[in-house]
A = this chain, B = another copy of it.
Amino acid sequence: MTTFADERERLLYQALRIRRVEEHIARIYPSDCIQSPVHLSLGQEAVAVGACAPLRAGDRVFGTYRSHAFYLACGGSLREMMAELFGKATGCAGGKAGSMHLTAPEVGFMGSSAVVASTIPNAVGAALAAQRLGTGAITLAVFGDGATEEGVYHESLNFAALHRLPVLFLCENNGLAVHSHRASRQSYDLMHHARGFGITAEHCASGFDPMAVRALVEMAAQALRAGAGPRFIECATYRYAEHVGIGDDHDVGYRSPADCAAWRAHDPLILEAARLERFEAAIAAEIADAVTFAAASPWPEPDALLRDVA
């Protein structure tokens, strides 16, 4: 077992692990061993590890197509994730999900959808179940800034607030939906909008800092467990890679390399690289193991095609 000086180091380690996993995915992607689109969270890892840290057994998380980070932060198996990306029978969904539909219900990661905003009401529903069944569990709805434009977001906030459901709406605001900036898509302020439903909203400007995210989520989780009704947290963050795929697209004109540089200047995984160096070898070994596992795993049997339909 890896040991950590403190909680911050533990979270940085987790973030680093996610980054290295995704960097490795990018590295092997050209070989076509992963035959599925990948939406990388490079730059956004701290949000996931900070947000999942305060969760307990029984709590649930619903994610998006960009969920490598949350899947791993929840404790999803790296081997099963890699095997899933490879389309193998040993994948977390037996090779039917690919990168966009990761799931690990055994650790509360309930699934992720490639249709933007679609899991938000699902998270609200899971919170309804928890409330009605009195489990004491809370649910995290994770989504991007673009997702808030969908009507179902409005419907979800309203219902959650009406029933004071234990759901935390967590927005990863990277300022972009594919190549569109928020200003060309949104006429509202995210926090002000959420507050309009009577939902307490907080902003985390330093989404690069897992401890900052953790602190806000911890507070919110306490309120949720106390039955105080839904919460909203907006985390500023930054996506280093292109929207989908492994490239860097700072040269195509829709965003500037300067913005990227500014974010990197805050990024603890870069700034504290020396201190984190001691974890690198173990992480690399773990990744190598997962890739080996995935590569060596069998393809799904043909009869899986019609299994679990209805």
Contacts and interface: CB of A to CB of B under 8 A. Distances in A.
A255 interface: no
A157 B152 CA distance: 14
Contacts of A157: 187
Contact of A189 (B153, B158, B196): B196
A198 interface: yes
Contacts of A197: 187-188
A153 to B, nearest CB: 7
A151 B162 contact: no
B162 A155 contact: no
Given A162-B185, A162-B186, 19 more contacts: A150-B155, A151-B151, A151-B154, A154-B154, A158-B186, A158-B187, A158-B188, A161-B187, A161-B188, A162-B184, A187-B197, A187-B198, A187-B199, A188-B196, A188-B197, A188-B198, A189-B196, A192-B196, A196-B196
If over half of A's interface residues share one DSSP class (helix, strand or loop), that class is named, otherwise mixed; here it is helix
Interface of A: 149-155, 157-158, 161-162, 184-189, 192-193, 196-199
Nearest to A186: B158
A198 B187 CA distance: 7
A188 to B, nearest CB: 5
A20 to B, nearest CB: 38
Nearest to A157: B187
Contacts of A198: 187-188
Contacts of A196: 188-189, 192-193, 196
What 7 A-B pairs come out closest when comparing CB atoms? A151-B151, A161-B187, A154-B154, A187-B197, A162-B187, A196-B196, A151-B155
A240 B70 CA distance: 53
Nearest to A162: B187
